[in-house]
Amino acid sequence: MKKVLETINLNKYFYKPVKFHVLKDINLSIYSGEFAAIVGPSGSGKSTLLYALSSLDREYEGEVLFDEIDLKTLTNPKLAHLRNKSIGFIFQFHYLLADFTALDNVMLPGLKLSELNHEDLEVKAMNKLELLGIADQALKKVNQLSGGEQQRVSIARALINEPRIIFCDEPTGNLDSKNAMIVFDMLKNLTREFDQTILMVTHDDSFSSATDRQIQLFDGKIIDKL
């Protein structure tokens, strides 16, 4: 299977308020089409690892290879392009633009990429909203939607440029159990029906156990990745 991501001896330190070794000798590969979870107690380094893997943070020692390219060798414009085209992000809080419609929010990363004209992009964005079961909410402003609907808009937005991988940090953490289940099932479905690669941080065992693989972090170290 093709590797989407690989880390080689990844180590990271925080220097403030005191020197702290937060990620310790992380050697990890993520393969195309897999649904993998990063699990571990609060403070074990899950979010920090996800930021490094997803190119949001390049202040580390060692290498992170994305499709065999060392992220540290990319110039900032190249990195920005890779992020927009090849990576989808879903966080606990949605970071959607509250005053814009769901449809506008989904189109935004596509406008930035500018591979499609406005009309085609709008059709594509509607298809993504449809896939997430919220096409009927397309013209509502984000602040008029429920938390579960907002998170589904975030997923549609993450999908618009057909990314190689989607990174999620506690995507269900802010939702009630019913909506958390809906959002989780939709993520899983993307991996099953469309071969979407997803790497998800969660501390919820009931969700992580339903993924293909659990990468367990403890105190900044991988203790299991089966």
Ligand X SMILES: Nc1ncnc2c1ncn2[C@@H]1O[C@H](COP(=O)(O)OP(=O)(O)O)[C@@H](O)[C@H]1O
Q: What are the residues binding ligand X (CB under 6 A)?
A: 14, 16, 20, 22, 40, 42-48
- C-beta of 33 vs 173, nearer to Mg ion: 173
> Which residue shows structure tokens 């992580």?
208
The site partner of 22 among Mg ion, ligand X, none (C-beta below 5 to 8 Å per kind) is: ligand X
Report in angstroms how near the CB of residue 23 gets to Mg ion at its nearest: 13
The torsion defined by the Cα of 148, 151, 152 and 154, in degrees rounded to 10, comes to 170
C-beta of residue 207 within 8 angstroms of C-beta of residue 37: yes
The site partner of 109 among ligand X, Mg ion, none (C-beta below 5 to 8 Å per kind) is: none
If one asks whether residue 47 binds Mg ion (CB under 5 A), the answer comes out as yes
Rounded distance between C-alpha atoms, residue 147 and residue 149, angstroms: 5
Size of the site for Mg ion (CB under 5 A): 2
Residues 6+ apart with CB under 8 A from 194: none
- C-beta of 21 vs 141, nearer to Mg ion: 21
> Which residue shows structure tokens 């020197």?
19
If one asks whether residue 151 binds Mg ion (CB under 5 A), the answer comes out as no
Name the residues that contact Mg ion, by CB under 5 A: 46-47
